[in-house]
Amino acid sequence: MCELLVGNLESGDRLEALIFSAIYLKWINTGQIPCFEDGGHPRPNRHAEISRLIFRELERIYCMKDTSLQEVLSIRKIHPCLPSFKAEFTASVPLTRIRDVAHWGDIPHDLKLQIKHTIQNKLHRNAGPEDLVATEAMLARITRNPEEYSEAFVEQFKIIHHELKDFSMLGNLTEQLESIKESFDDRSLSALTLFLECKERLDNLEESKDALDKSIDLLLKTAQSLNTLREVIVKGLESSLRNDVPDAAIAMRQKWRLCEIGLEDYSFLLLSRFLNALEVVGGAQQLKENAESKNVSSWNGPLGSLFVGIRQLGLSGWKPEECTAIGNELLAWKEKGLSEKEGSEDGKAVWALRLKATLDRSRRLTEEYSEALPQMFPQKVEMLGKALGIPENSVRTYNEAEIRAGYCYFSGLKTLYASFKSCLKHTWVSRLGRSCSRSCSWNPNPGYVIIQYMSSPTVDRWAVVKQILCYLKGAPGDEVTAAGNNIKGVVLLQELPHLSHLGVRAGQEKVIFVTCEDDDKIADIQKLNGKCVRHNTTSNFPVKDL
């Protein structure tokens, strides 16, 4: 694995090498690819040394200016699968406590043999994740009856279990953060302390109706403190590793990196819990009622959670400039609030339109991120799984669980967007209606046609087949349609400026052209791919019949 990564990271196959490595290491970690003895005697320090080499290469690539977003995502998948390379694991004879325990004087002979053959020999000849599983099973056995084995023996075995967890980097988030506390300065330490305090209060909060309002405030405060702490850690990881950096510093950087990734995962959990709590206290309906009465203070919490979610994407390396711009917009609209009048316009309408534009921008960003992994991994997962003889259900599990693990978070963001949009819709639709009545340029190109329906990611990839009606996921608006005779209609699944180049050209070429942002309608549209349909469009009802 080390040779694969180091040998390919400078070539054009760098992304492919990273993706295949992420898949392979995940299967190693989950036991889908077991580690067997091969007659050699590579102690765990060999695994630690290889891990250190891989980590250095990954960090070097991570900090390069030409690293693609897809490569960053792949690297972040690999990091949690690497074992620790702290000094105690790179020593010439690491993890020797298991040898002492296997020869403990006051335990039965058969237990000594079982520890020696199932854990000690395997660990010292070809360590793997299954050793931690075997140790957990043994620990459960010797602690089942508290008086059966001596307290000293049980305590030593618990230490062995902790060492193996440490070697496999499987401590929980609090344990990981506590392990890097000594490397923090005063400012960083205050951020860490605040987050750990909020997390502890949240973990101990009783689930009751009285505690619901407190939990919403605490969830938001915890998310904000997490945001601050992760910013501190990411800042500390910005500089690349020097060639002469000490091994102890590299080992500490690995801890920092895993803490940063762990905070990202925990932020997804916090946002999901926040959305659930928001629904319990009224959700979208409550926000809508407050907006109608021009009381928008209740929107501060949801907008604050959206700011945290967008910021987390930026800290993960996904379009950080765009994330910063969206975050600044959210903070600006939150600070500005709602006015009775803005110039000659109704303040609530302007507030709603302004907020809707930022929400649309946020949604496009998160959808791009959530679609990136399915485009990168599934085909290679199937290819590698077939080559290694991985069972089909395990391949399916990787695609469904690993790749889509973050979808609950993004579906949560989409739920938040839907709540916002349903609250704002009555305001901005009426506003658009007044604008449209003053500008004939906005009227969609009406028409009626019975044709084949096809999808296309962008305008530039329209297929030259029969007469078709295209639905497009996105279009910047400056495309040259050149539709010819085959394109008879376009349904664009996003907003577009009324006088965009695409809209004007579609009108010139007598092509039916409408936009649609309704999620339910979009879901119905996507079911029609490849079918013959009748599309009836009028200026008053853009998608009247489909």
Instruction: List, by residue number, the catalytic residues.
Output: 501
Tokens 């013959």 correspond to 532
CA distance 94 to 45: 6
187 exposure class (CB count in 10 Å sphere: 0-12, 13-18, 19+) = exposed
Pair of tokens at residue 10: 């400078």
Maximum C-alpha span of the chain? 93
Tokens 């067997």 correspond to 36
315, 231 Cβ separation under 8 angstroms: yes
Residue 223's nearest CA partner among 302, 330, 166, 131 is 302
386, 437 Cβ separation under 8 angstroms: no
CA distance 1 to 3: 5
Q: For residue 104, is it left (φ>0), alpha (ψ between -120 and 50) or beta?
A: beta
CA distance 532 to 270: 45
Residue 100's Cα: distance from chain center in Å? 43
- Written as one string, the DSSP assignment of 463-492 is --SSSEEEEES---S------TTTEEEEEE
> Helical H runs in 63-185?
69-78, 87-90, 97-102, 109-115, 121-126, 129-142, 151-167, 173-179
CA distance 508 to 75: 48
Exposure class string for 347-383: b at 16+ Cβ within 10 A, else e: ebbbbbbbbbebbeebbebbbebbeebeebbbeebbe
Amino acid letter, residue 26: K
End-to-end CA separation in angstroms for the chain: 53
Tokens 């339109």 correspond to 353
84, 51 Cβ separation under 8 angstroms: yes
Neighbours of 486 (CB within 10 A): 16
> Helical H runs in 293-340?
300-315, 320-336
